[in-house]
Amino acid sequence: MVCEKSKILVFGATGYLGKYMVKASVSMGHPTYAYVRPVNPDAKPSKLQQHRELESLGVTIFQGELDEHETMVAALKQVDVVISTLAVPQHLEQFVPSEFGNEVDRVSGLPPFQALLENKKKVRRATEAAGIPFTYVSANSFAAYFVDYLLHPHERTQHVSIYGNGDAKAVLNFEEDVAAYTIRASVDPRVCNRVIIYRPPGNIVSQLDLVSSWEKKTGTKLQRTHIPEQDIIELSESLPFPENIPVAILHNIFIKGDQVSFELTANDLEASALYPDYKYTSVDKLLDLCLVNPPKPKRAAFA
């Protein structure tokens, strides 16, 4: 007897991470649904194309605004799992909220970033208080995005900026792997009401590690400019909201090294250990891809 696949609904399905999530869900055979803003026939061609792409994958589309309660409830009643990839946390059998970053209950940051962490904590506590089964995903950093941001592989630049001394370790996970792990975890009873952390050993690198590897692969010596930690702190204090948020995030990831600031214990769930059969893309392999056809992420994802 074939086990029936869970029906998965993705919020933010046309966004940066949402597109990966939809493709991963479809590829694993799940009936996949997307909740998207209504699109009129006279909408921008890019919006119409996004809908056509979803339809071509066999995705069922629900159109509605986030404040249309009845429309949203009607969609939720038809699925088993809800995954939110919206830029700001929003609201079944399982809820995977909009996190996909640091493990919010175990890290802290400069005030602009700390405010985001506190917001995510509130969503966690509200979810738990409501008795909704959940999976919290700590995916750390998107590898294609930050490799592009730090190394500019499309441009083959001769110069790179190093935040702080460059020694702090970060966890850079390829976006396709983040989506694949998330779809697996969302229907895995072992992860229900738990936090799952994406920290594959091949993806723990410092900025200096990244730059050195890229220099070896390209045969090019890069000029490095170090940006002092104090400059980043002062920028986070002087820039207006929301421009101060990316600066505070850079500090947390690449200067403070918060993504590996705590040890994983036997009680923690780590994705590559939980799903050893899945062959993730290491940072080294991603750099090899960048030599031939580097991914071009949307810069808006960082903001």
Three-class DSSP category at 63 = strand
Cα 135 to Cα 98, 184, 190, distances in angstroms: 11, 11, 10
- What are 233's two structure tokens? 């702190």
Q: Say how far apart CA 303 and CA 300 lie, in whole Å.
A: 5
| Residue 253 half-sphere exposure toward CB, CA atoms < 13 A | 24
Q: CA 77, CA 93: separation in Å to the nearest integer? A: 10
Element (H, E) at 136: strand 135-138
Concerning whether 121 is annotated as a catalytic residue, the answer is no
Residues 34, 10 contacting (CB under 8 angstroms): yes
The catalytic position among 19, 23, 120, 256 is: 120
φ, ψ of residue 13 to 5 degrees: the values are -65, -20
Return the active site residues: 120
